[in-house]
Structure 1
Amino acid sequence: MAVDVFRMFQLATQGFCCSQIMLILGLDELGKENPDLIKAMQGLCGGIGRSGKTCGAFTGGACLIGLNVGKGTPPENSHPKINRMINELLEWFEEAHGSIDCEGILDHSLGEGSEYPVQCGNIVATTFSKVNEILAAYAEDPESLDED
């Protein structure tokens, strides 16, 4: 599914960060809302607590994979290749952006109160698309259900 750029902009102007936007967009696709999950995702903002470390678009993408194919209840099982899917996202993300850290991607730090650069919106959009591509590939590939 294509990324709704207007929706992303709307969420950013409402004060949501990259990791939160990733999950809101994913929940939108599922026709769901989960304010508690979105609150929890704030801990990943700006590279985990705005430290500039691991990018929230990436961690949000990993969480979005988990939201779609992870274990959520005792009788439920996660997709047998969930870790492979997340690692595929990790490898792609690092190659596409040169780093998984905000400070390695951006040319400045994300201190308290600073605005998110336009570059972050592009990263969220491409990462959201990649997550959907990975989910689709593993849903359609019968070999994807074989154990590692």
Structure 2
Amino acid sequence: MTDRFMKMLELSQQGFYCSQILLLIGLEAQGKNIPEVVRAMSGLVGGMGFCGKTCGALTGGACLIGLYAGKGTPEEMEDSRLNEMVKELVEWFEEENLAPYGGIACFDILENNPANRMMRCPQLVLQTLSKVEEILTAGGYDLSGQTAY
């Protein structure tokens, strides 16, 4: 098992879910602890509050891109490539998950069976994290900080 998988397992055992885990890993990479951000991510878990809608790994991944490339203060400028980076993530996620699961909704991925969560979600979160890191790195972001080079 990889260190990343072990970290994800640890966070999961602490009661965190897909979107929260992605942001916790991103915040940790930046040396930050911002419980309010993690708390806000709660609304995305399980397909938006366990409603089974858009997968929390995808929405969490989009938020992780935003953590690096988005606007956070009145003085900051959003990276002009933000929407393209998120679009790349969404297109990749669709390519990876439409065929095997028939959609990108949590309901589709889990095939309306919560027991599938333990088998499918960890892999989706890890794959999404890797793709987000790939997108951000290609965009010139140092994953230990917020600024592009």
* Unaligned segments of structure 2, at least 5 residues: 142-147
CA RMSD for the aligned pairs?
A: 1.9
Q: Distance in 1 between matches of 2:104 and 2:140?
A: 26
Q: Which moved more, 1:85-94 or 1:97-106?
A: 97-106
Q: 1:115: how far off?
A: 8.3
Distance 2:14 2:139 in 1: 33
Indicate yes or no: 2:137 matched with 1:133. Answer: no
1:108 aligns with 2:112: yes
Q: Distance in 2 between matches of 1:56 and 1:131?
A: 14
Name the count of aligned residue pairs.
137
CA contact (8 A) 1:94 1:100 kept: yes
Corresponding position of 2:74: 74
Q: TM-score, normalised by structure 1?
A: 0.86
1:109 is displaced (CA, Å) by 4.4
Q: Could you tell me the TM-score, scaled by structure 2's length?
A: 0.86
More helix by share: 2
Summarize the Cα distance change of 1:3–1:135 in structure 2 as closer, same or farther, 3 Å threshold.
farther
- 1:116, distance to aligned residue in structure 2 (A): 3.4
- In the alignment, what sits opposite 2:6? 6
Shift in Å at residue 8 of structure 1? 0.1
Deviation of 1:4 after TM superposition, in Å, equals 0.9
TM-fit CA distance, 1:138: 1.4
Deviation at 1:3, TM superposition (A): 6.5
Deviation (angstroms), 1:28: 1.1
Contact 1:102 1:109 in 2 (8 A): no
Aligned AA (1:63): C
Unaligned runs of 5+ in 1: none
* Displacement of 1:108: 2.1
Percent of aligned pairs with the same amino acid: 48
2:137 and 2:90 mapped to 1: Cα distance?
Answer: 17
How does 1:17-32 map onto structure 2 within 5 Å? 17-32=17-32
- Alpha carbons 1:70, 1:82 under 8 Å: kept: yes
